[in-house]
Amino acid sequence: MKRILIALMTCVTLLSMGGCGYNTIQQQDEQVTAAWSDVVNQYKRRADLIPNLVNVVKGYAAHEEEVLTKVTEARTKATSLTADASVLANDEAFKRFQEAQSALSGSLSRLLAIAENYPQLKADGNFRDLQAQIEGTENRITVARTRYIEAVRAYNITIRSFPSNLTAKMFGYAVKPNFTVENEKAIAEAPKVTFD
């Protein structure tokens, strides 16, 4: 009798751990962190391309100093912010990170827009390569952000719904910040480079 009881208890404990959503929360939390680090990596990749781009543009359009300085400043600001997973626990930091990146997107797209006025620049092989890399990176950023948005959506639904919300509360899992619609608009307006 006692044996059966122990066996039953083991089964019940195992099942209830699954039933209260602990494993799901764990898994989805992990996915959010992974998706976030992908977002950060892609932004970093973009930031790494900018100094070269600025140099190449300078060679042909040195008097566009204002635009060039703005890009450099926006880059410095964006890269100076912490971007590790701790940002996800801090709405303020998350907002700052977003704003800095979208400011950089804006100044970068202005820089690429003025490049259109310089045929020699547009014909430069280095510039074309950099443009292709930046275009590719912008697309990666979009993909990484979309995956982050999906991961956070799934996670937030889990920790807000019954009964897993009780588990989440017990183990201290909080709602994670997501990219806002406003910002999704900003992505849609990210520099679109074409080669007509």
Partner 1 sequence: MKYRHLFITLLMSVVAPLHMAVAQFVPIPPLTEPVIDQAGVLSSTARGDIEREVRALKEEKGSEVAVLIVPSTKPEEIEQFSIRVVERWKLGRKGIDDGVLLLVAVQDRRVRIEVGRGLEGDVPDVKAFRIIDEVILPQFKAGNISGGIRAGVEAIVGLIRGVDLPPPAATDDSAADLYFPLAVFGYVAGALLGSLFGILIGAGIAGVGTFLIGYTLFSLAAAIGLGVLVLVLVLLLRGTHGGVGDRGYRGGTSYGGRTSSGGFGGSFGGGSFGSGGSFSGGGSSGRW
Interacting residue ranges for partner 1, rule: CB under 8 A: 3-4, 6-7, 10-11, 14, 18, 23, 38, 42, 128-129, 132-133, 135-137, 139-144, 157, 161-163, 194-196
Cβ(147)–Cβ(32) below 8 Å: no
Shorter beta-carbon distance to partner 1: residue 29 or 67: 29
* Shortest separation between residue 60's beta carbon and partner 1, angstroms: 20
Per the CB < 8 A criterion, the answer to whether 117 and 63 are in contact is no
SS3 24: helix
In the complex, the smallest distance separating the C-beta of residue 159 from partner 1, rounded to whole angstroms, is 13
Judged by CB, which is closer to partner 1: 12, or 89? 12
Give the H/E segment covering residue 99: helix 91-115
Query: Which residues lie closer than 8 Å to 41 by C-beta, 6 or more apart?
Result: 144
Nearer to partner 1, 3 or 63 (CB): 3
In whole angstroms, how close is the CB of 91 to partner 1 at the nearest point? 23
CB of 69 to partner 1, least distance (A): 27
Nearer to partner 1, 7 or 89 (CB): 7
Give whichever of 143 and 170 is closer to partner 1, judged by the CB atom: 143
Handedness of CA 31, 33, 36, 38 (dihedral sign): negative
Task: Please answer whether residues 193 and 134 qualify as being in contact, where contact means their C-beta atoms are separated by less than 8 angstroms.
Answer: yes
Q: Which two tokens stand for residue 149?
A: 């948005």
| Cβ 44 to partner 1 shortest distance, Å | 14
Q: How far is CA 172 from the centre of its chain?
A: 24
